[in-house]
Amino acid sequence: MAEAYTLIEDAALGPCNTLRVAARARHYAELRDPAALPAVLDAADARGEPVLVLGEGSNVLFAGDFPGLVLRPAFAGVRRLADDGERVILRVEAGYGWDALVDWSLAQGLAGLENLALIPGLVGAAPIQNIGAYGVEVAERVVAVEAWDRDERRLRRLPVGACAFGYRDSRFKQQPERWIVTAVEFAFSRSAALRLDYAGVREELAAGGITAPTASDVAAAVRRLRRRKLPDPARIGNAGSFFKNPLVADAVARGLREAEPSMPVYPAGRELAKLSAAWLIERCGWRGHREGDAGISAQHALVLVNHGAATGAELLGLARRVADSVCERYGVRLEPEPRIVGATW
């Protein structure tokens, strides 16, 4: 099935990750047909190589070279599975661009993903990270995930309840060596209630004179907000938000709030509270900090940036120092959002 994929030896990964970190892979395969997965994986196993699935590289930090096969899904079909006039279920293959799907669904009059506009990456990565923004997580729209199970050597369809979704987490993220996402089924609505009460969305709409917004209006507002707040990976290397917003016990949050009355605290259910990692990092003085070409964005304290030729090890070292300083001052441990390849956190 050679026509179903392209295999490159000693491949440069700098163009394949948005942090623009120079790294290499022993092999790189662009897969155009998921039916070729068994053959590609068997060949990697025969060579004794680990496998890393890489989409647009917008959620990964290469701390070193990868001594195996980097696999990029390039299959991107869309199929309508059900439509009752109100609820529509689409099956979208892993290689479809995420923001392209947001645009396409809105053009079809389908609501549900508008708050997740302008998130970089491919559809296959969305359930792995359980991407989220502006009060919405993708798990809310997932019906099922189709994935190749490397343990059982077969394609499986996992309904949403079997995906172990959590905050920026999933079964697929917890077991990256086992699962290769090949498609995702999403539920859309033609008249869904819009989610406007998070991080300035309603204010952004009002500033534009929009009093009766559509889903497309919300997506446009979210895009404007993201462009103002986050640096563009096309201009400076970054992987978006590098740290998760930490979850702490309500009692811990109350104690921190007493000491720092301006600290943002959000309810997170189950006697938990969510803190703002950006606020914590900024209070520790890191916003705009730079060490050589490794830095923290002056635009947003959550974003680790590569000003030019920073290595993955340099970026990781800076991120660790940021997290250590937050822990020392507030007793709160930060965890990275991106997958770190070649090192452990």
Rounded-to-integer distance, Cα 4 and Cα 333, Å: 44
What's the order of all strands across the beta sheet hosting 51-53?
A: 5-12, 24-31, 66-73, 51-53
Compute how many other C-beta atoms are within 10 angstroms of the C-beta atom of residue 102. 24
Compute how many other C-beta atoms are within 10 angstroms of the C-beta atom of residue 281. 24
Which one is catalytic: 49, 146, 314, 337? 337
Active site residue 168: yes
Active site residue 223: no
Which one is catalytic: 58, 170, 241, 297? 241
Active site residue 271: no
Which one is catalytic: 72, 168, 283, 287? 168
List residues with catalytic annotation: 168, 241, 337
